[in-house]
Amino acid sequence: MRITLVHYSAPPVIGGVESVLGAHARLFRSAGHEVTIVARRGSPDRLLAGADPTDELAEAVHGSDIVIAHNVLTMPFDMGLTQALWTIAERNPKPRWIAWVHDVAVANPDYDFPWHQSPWDLLTRSCPHFSYLAVSSQRARQMEATSRADVRVIPNGVDPAEVLGLTPPVAAFAGKHRLLERDVVLIHPTRLLRRKNVEFGLEVIAELRRRGKDAVTMITGAADPHNERSAEYASALLRRRTLLGLDESALLVGEHFPVAPLDLTGLYQLADALFFPSRQEGFGLPVLEAALHRLPVFCADIEPMSCLLNHSLHVFDPEGSAAEVATLIQRTLDRSPTLRARRETVFCYSWDSVWRRYLEPLLRGEGFADNDGAVPCFKRQIPDFASGI
């Protein structure tokens, strides 16, 4: 399918609309579609230079299956371009013409134009050849009130890997193991030594999973190459992991790639909490690292770790009950509004989710998931993270 995206400017110009346009282009291309970005500024595929861009734009959209104009039909920044879109759509109704509404100038008192005069009057009504999509329910209502257009909603999205600053190995690892979609993600930064009590973490994850939670732990280190007993311990852990059915839920990161310092930072960013069950430690640096990443800390009630911080430590007996520790983790994370907001963002607003729910059905000419009309009810889509507690 040939898709043409039209806006005033294109990346690398910095702006909210430009970032959305760039994300759309990447998603469409990754799905195998041919995409052309047309704009006045930046680095588009087709740069419009003339004061009257009608002929240039007509040539650029020729042969397109879909033409998507971002903001051009609702904002007054280039009325020549707005007029050109109206003219070309009238002449050539073959493509699907879509107006993507990020802003509505007529509804904004900061814009003072003679709306009843040409050409600004074009912004007060909907073009009959276009379907209108808005980025929010508010924008949809404003557009419907000012132009009587029939407007549907497709939200903007975010790229979690980009926002979290994940390195390529960590981003690939997160995608492969669906780490941003899991119910509970623990990080255990450690080498595979018996005193680190890694097997207790396996039992806790197994208990959380028995309760219906899609829980996973990331164990960052590998066996100590200078310690023969470390290799033996690692082999025993692998056997125990398989016996518990945790091959995809107790992840030895070192099996996938060597963890560099920036990779470790990314793994902390992916985690919901630190889990640190050591039987003995000289200091316990991960407790402080996790605190800097604003993660709740679940650690063994031993010195010196239990004395490092006065707040936010959830301690437990490293020889105690895995079921009790699982309950502690489950109840603590469920009370976290930050975690709920993170899950909601990934579930509703990651670009992968927006693609599946809205953009892919749009290209197929279908309706959108949970979007019956102009006002989507996103809250209905949020899973109940408290279930099972």
Report the DSSP beta bridge partners of residue 192. Answer: 223
Residue identified by tokens 């829980």 is: 215
Q: Report pLDDT digits (tens) over 137-157.
A: 999 999 999 988 899 999 999
Beta carbons within 8 Å of 355's beta carbon, 6+ residues apart:
27, 31, 157
Q: How far is CA 59 from CA 46, 99, 181, 289, 324, in A?
A: 10, 19, 43, 56, 68
The pLDDT of residue 149 = 86
What is the DSSP code (8-state) at residue 325?
H
CB 375 within 8 A of CB 153: yes
> 2-157 adopts what CATH topology?
Rossmann fold (3.40.50)
The pLDDT of residue 296 = 95
- Burial zone of 50 (CB within 10 Å; 0-12 exposed, 13-18 middle, 19+ buried): exposed
Segments in the chain below pLDDT 50: 371-389
| pTM, entire model | 0.86
CB 66 within 8 A of CB 4: yes
Write out the E strands in 108-214: 130-134, 151-153, 184-188
Q: Report the distance separating Cα 163 and Cα 112, nearest Å.
A: 36
Report the DSSP beta bridge partners of residue 3. Answer: 35, 66
The pLDDT of residue 376 = 42
Q: If you average pLDDT over every residue of the chain, what do you get? A: 91
The ranges of the chain annotated as CATH 3.40.50.2000 are 2-157, 162-340
Report DSSP letters for 270-297, one per residue: H-SEEEE--S--SS-HHHHHHHHTT--E
- At residue 28's C-alpha, the angle toward residues 51 and 347, to 5°, is 120
Exposed e or buried b per residue across 241-262, where buried means at least 16 C-beta atoms within 10 angstroms of its C-beta:
beebebeebbbbbbeeeebeee
Q: Report pLDDT digits (tens) over 274-324.
A: 999 999 999 999 999 999 999 999 999 999 988 888 877 999 999 999 999
The pLDDT of residue 227 = 72
Q: 3-state class of 26 per DSSP?
A: helix
The pLDDT of residue 386 = 36
The pLDDT of residue 93 = 85
Name the CATH superfamily for 162-340.
Glycogen Phosphorylase B; (3.40.50.2000)
